[in-house]
Structure 1
Amino acid sequence: MSASKYLKHLREKVGILPLMIPAVAAVILNERNELLLQRKTDGSWSLPAGMIEPKESPAQAIVREVYEETGLTAHVERILGVFGGEDYSFTYPNGDQVDYTIVLFKCRVEDENTAPRDRETESLEWFSKTSLPELALPYPLACLFAENTDGYFDKT
């Protein structure tokens, strides 16, 4: 996730201390039920995802993030789940700590021809359920392949 001016401003105030970050992620499946993932420049695998910017709705954020990271225009179909907590805490290589609350969207795209538009994406690839690499964040498999129909919400 690229650091926005807003996030940079917050980091000037709190340093590397954990920030609560509202975020979005996209599940995009092709006709072969393969999941689109991005390989980041640090070598990790992720869904197209990112932070919700100030004054931006979650739906607007996921459309923007998918476009920035894949070159695809996303159409939101539904919410698959909302995730957060200890499993969604992350420390970046520079030491910045974040605690994500992530709205996971099922999205469709018109075209499968991807073209990353940002510097954090090394490559984009489609994966089947059986060939899925380890992801940076532990989304439930049923959500990634849109098998859940009622939505998934972290339970305490």
Structure 2
Amino acid sequence: MPISPYLSDLRGRVGHALLLLPAVTAVIRRDDRFLLCRQAHAREWGLLGGGIEPLEKPEDAVLREVREEIGVAATIHGIVGAYGGEDLLVSYPNGDRVGYTTIAYSCSIPVDAELQFTDGALIETGWFTTTEIARLPRDRWVDRIIGDAGRPGGVLAADQMSVVEKAVCYVIAEDRLLVFTHDDTDILATGVQVPAGTVRDDESAAQAAERELFEETGLRGAVTRSLGTEFYDLAPLRDEVALRHFFRLEVVDPEVSAVWQAGEADPATGDSPISWTCRWIPLAQAHVLAGGLGARLGAALR
């Protein structure tokens, strides 16, 4: 949401100096998972929320923030607690400094709700268990609030297992999905895959998806929708957990009958050159995707 006229007027008077602001936080829970979000200017995950407007009731503010940020009507079930202090001291990219005092509300949203980033503040959302949250880069205050909401008096313990962020691409055209299989490796070892790869430090997950699509298939495509995130434990292959960001992408004028070879002449791992064969398979056969790569395919089709 753009800065409110009230806050804009304050900033005009004090510049970037520290402001103490009242706020609200939505703790949205579904079974054992909590809804977290990530803003365009931040790497860390956090909870939905924002400032209270002049003369606005806090409960009205939290409902407004949820509606503005993800386009969904929420239901309030109670107050989790009130929070402040150094953990809620925020420095924004433009230099503004804010110390928030926030009231956290326990909320729910409809199970079939389609989340939409209506005000442009967010770029991603995901549902996570407390164990998964402990593996995420997250705002400092998340643990206190989730700890109180999930198990009174508890705090989240840091999970030391290595987490690597991945982007996964679903390119769909004419009821077919773009996939590939490795040419020189037994299909029992690698399976049927979709374009995917590691998110670099200097790019967003969506940018990584578009890059990986081109590098692995030679096709240029654009992300049309974020489909959410899933954790995938890579053990026993590797002692790490992948946080997968799933996206639907589109390419211009795809030739869905095409079969072509791609590969890497000099893989980053230092191994021998590898090649794979790209093709389009009917969506009805997409259940063959390997290693949890089909986890968000249903969301891509809705």
Q: Give the TM-score taking structure 1 as reference length.
A: 0.87
Does residue 74 in structure 1 map to residue 74 in structure 2?
Answer: yes
Offset at residue 71 of structure 1 (A) = 1.5
Report the counterpart of residue 297 of structure 2 in structure 1: none
Question: Distance between the aligned counterparts of 1:62 and 1:137, measured in 2?
Answer: 20
After superposition, the Cα gap between the structure-2 partners of 1:54 and 1:137, relative to the gap in structure 1 and judged at 3 Å, is: farther
Question: Distance between the aligned counterparts of 1:76 and 1:121, measured in 2?
Answer: 22
Report the counterpart of residue 120 of structure 2 in structure 1: 119
Q: Which amino acid aligns with 2:38?
A: R
Map 1:6-45; keep pairs closer than 5 Å.
Answer: 6-31=6-31, 33-42=32-41, 43-45=43-45
Q: Which amino acid aligns with 2:139?
A: A
Is contact 1:80-1:148 (8 Å) kept?
no
Task: Spell out, residue by residue over 1:110-143, the C-alpha distance to the aligned partner (whole angstroms, 9 max, x if none).
Answer: 2343112111100111111111123224231422
Question: What number of residue pairs does the alignment pair up?
Answer: 147
Report the counterpart of residue 138 of structure 2 in structure 1: 135
After superposition, the Cα gap between the structure-2 partners of 1:27 and 1:65, relative to the gap in structure 1 and judged at 3 Å, is: same
Percent identity of the aligned residues? 36
Question: Distance between the aligned counterparts of 2:152 and 2:74, measured in 1?
Answer: 20
Offset at residue 22 of structure 1 (A) = 0.3
Offset at residue 148 of structure 1 (A) = 2.4
Is contact 1:116-1:124 (8 Å) kept?
no
Does residue 104 in structure 1 map to residue 104 in structure 2?
Answer: yes
Q: Which amino acid aligns with 1:127?
A: F
Offset at residue 20 of structure 1 (A) = 0.8
Report the counterpart of residue 188 of structure 2 in structure 1: none
Residue 142 of structure 1 aligns to a residue whose secondary structure is helix
Report the counterpart of residue 54 of structure 2 in structure 1: 54
* More divergent stretch after superposition (132-141 vs 86-95): 132-141
Q: List runs of 5+ in structure 2 lacking aligned partners.
A: 154-302
Q: Which amino acid aligns with 1:119?
A: G
Residue 66 of structure 2 aligns to a residue whose secondary structure is helix
Task: Spell out, residue by residue over 1:86-133, the C-alpha distance to the aligned partner (whole angstroms, 9 max, x if none).
Answer: 221111111100010000110111234311211110011111111112
Question: Distance between the aligned counterparts of 1:40 and 1:144, measured in 2?
Answer: 22
Report the counterpart of residue 4 of structure 1 in structure 2: 4
**CA RMSD of the aligned region, Å?**
1.6
Is contact 1:27-1:36 (8 Å) kept?
yes
* Structure with higher RCO (Cα < 8 A, 6+ apart): 1
Q: Which amino acid aligns with 2:124?
A: S
Does residue 148 in structure 1 map to residue 142 in structure 2?
Answer: no
Offset at residue 72 of structure 1 (A) = 1.6
Task: Spell out, residue by residue over 1:21-44, the C-alpha distance to the aligned partner (whole angstroms, 9 max, x if none).
Answer: 10000111113x211011110233
Residue 81 of structure 2 aligns to a residue whose secondary structure is strand
Report the counterpart of residue 94 of structure 1 in structure 2: 94
